[in-house]
């Protein structure tokens, strides 16, 4: 966005983020960081666009950065936080984008997942602080669009990875890379036959930018993700090979409410935004592995 000439104010309470991830932007005259919980009121003027991406996002119960470790904060970031940021957009007459998730589909009974599918979500399960608060955030965004005229749109993001991911937050790509580079066993939950579709981060950012700049997306929801589907075991084997690692692959119990299949139908994004993922899986993984290699141990 800064490259497009925009001035960016980044609000983050650092519950799952790291200042190191924005080190390359600090000091830039068009970038400002404010440590702030989006669930608290915020006063900002001259805002043209609000991108609401603030939420813990890792489902790994062993990680201190996961939404399982911070269920109340997660539920509030996507409910109260969405309310505060919608009010900010309304006061400024700004565009609003809510980063929802493929988890809004739960463990889907339809495959691939289209935006018209309403989902199969456990409302009281261990993941519900995330899944259900994202669903509420979607509903609140639509309420502000319908009754307050806010230019709100919703993106359902499917698994995204890339440099500046966190090897400790337990998501599948950084976890496997961290384990493979450290010579540790790669931990697969269940038998590894559950599927995921991985989108490289620059493709996602391109989609978010197009979404905000396309007026026809107001009051609508669009999937963004890469439809190339693989099993988790295939990802483990590929990452191990690309890392040149001889680590074993070990199998642990399946996590509660872990979706068995996950692949976006992106026909709507293609038609509305002219968007397609462009970074092939191997290229994206190699760039991510290279970045991880360059990090201090």
Active site residues: 130
78 Cβ contact partners less than 8 Å away, ≥ 6 residues apart: 55, 130, 133, 134, 136, 137
Q: Residue 43 and residue 49: Cα distance in Å, rounded?
A: 14
If the CB atoms of residues 99 and 285 are measured against ligand NAD, the closer one turns out to be: 99
Contact residue for ligand NAD among 42, 56, 142, 175 (CB under 6 A): 56
If the CB atoms of residues 50 and 54 are measured against ligand NAD, the closer one turns out to be: 54
If the CB atoms of residues 17 and 192 are measured against ligand NAD, the closer one turns out to be: 17
Contact residue for ligand NAD among 50, 55, 197, 200 (CB under 6 A): 55
Angle at 31 between CA 206 and CA 1, to 5 degrees: 15
Q: Copy the structure tokens of residue 292.
A: 């991880």
Does 42 engage in binding with ligand NAD (CB under 6 A)?
Answer: no
Contact residue for ligand NAD among 50, 57, 221, 243 (CB under 6 A): 57
Residue whose entry in the numeric block shows the structure tokens 């007459």? 93
Q: Count CA atoms closer than 13 A to 262's CA, side-chain side.
A: 29
If the CB atoms of residues 9 and 15 are measured against ligand NAD, the closer one turns out to be: 15
Size, binding site for ligand NAD by CB under 6 A:
22
What minimum distance in Å lies between the beta carbon of 244 and ligand NAD?
Answer: 26
Q: Draw the binding track, 132-171, toward ligand NAD (x: CB under 6 A; -: no contact).
A: -------------------------x-xx-----------
What minimum distance in Å lies between the beta carbon of 81 and ligand NAD?
Answer: 5
Angle at 124 between CA 118 and CA 125, to 5 degrees: 90
Angle at 97 between CA 109 and CA 277, to 5 degrees: 60
Contact residue for ligand NAD among 42, 47, 54, 129 (CB under 6 A): 54
Scan residues 72-91 and list those touching ligand NAD (CB under 6 A): 77, 81
Scan residues 8-37 and list those touching ligand NAD (CB under 6 A): 11-17, 37
If the CB atoms of residues 208 and 243 are measured against ligand NAD, the closer one turns out to be: 208
Q: Count CA atoms closer than 13 A to 52's CA, side-chain side.
A: 35
Contacts 24+ apart (CB under 8 A), 239-243: 239/173, 239/176, 239/177, 239/180, 239/186, 239/285, 239/289, 240/176, 240/180, 240/186, 242/282, 242/285, 242/286, 242/289, 243/177, 243/180, 243/181, 243/289
List residues binding ligand NAD (CB under 6 A). 11-17, 37-39, 53-57, 77, 81, 99, 101, 157, 159-160
């Amino acid at each position: 966005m800064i490259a497009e000439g925009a001035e960016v104010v980044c609000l983050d309470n650092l519950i799952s983020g790291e200042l190191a991830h924005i080190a390359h932007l600090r000091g830039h005259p068009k970038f400002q960081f404010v440590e702030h919980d989006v669930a608290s009121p915020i006063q900002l003027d001259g805002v043209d666009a609000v991108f609401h991406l603030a939420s813990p996002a890792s489902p790994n119960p062993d990680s201190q950065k996961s939404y399982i470790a911070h269920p109340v904060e997660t539920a509030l970031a996507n409910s109260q936080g969405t309310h505060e940021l919608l009010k900010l957009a309304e006061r400024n007459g700004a565009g609003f984008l809510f980063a929802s998730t493929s988890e809004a589909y739960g463990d889907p009974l339809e495959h691939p997942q289209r935006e018209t599918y309403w989902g199969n979500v456990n409302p009281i399960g261990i993941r519900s602080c995330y899944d259900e608060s994202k669903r509420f955030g979607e509903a609140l965004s639509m309420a502000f669009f319908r009754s307050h005229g806010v230019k709100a749109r919703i993106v359902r993001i499917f698994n995204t990875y890339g440099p500046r991911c966190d090897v400790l937050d337990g998501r599948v790509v950084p976890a496997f890379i961290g384990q493979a580079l450290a010579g540790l066993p790669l931990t697969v939950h269940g038998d590894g036959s559950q599927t995921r579709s991985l989108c490289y981060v620059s493709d996602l950012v391109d989609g978010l930018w197009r979404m905000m700049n396309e007026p026809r997306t107001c009051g609508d929801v669009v999937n963004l993700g890469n439809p190339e589907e693989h099993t988790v075991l295939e990802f483990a084997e590929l990452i191990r090979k690309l890392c040149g690692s001889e680590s074993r692959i070990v199998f642990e119990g399946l996590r509660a409410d872990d979706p068995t299949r996950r692949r976006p139908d992106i026909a709507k994004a293609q038609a509305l935004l002219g968007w397609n993922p462009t970074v092939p899986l191997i290229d994206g993984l190699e760039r991510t592995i290279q970045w991880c290699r360059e990090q201090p141990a």
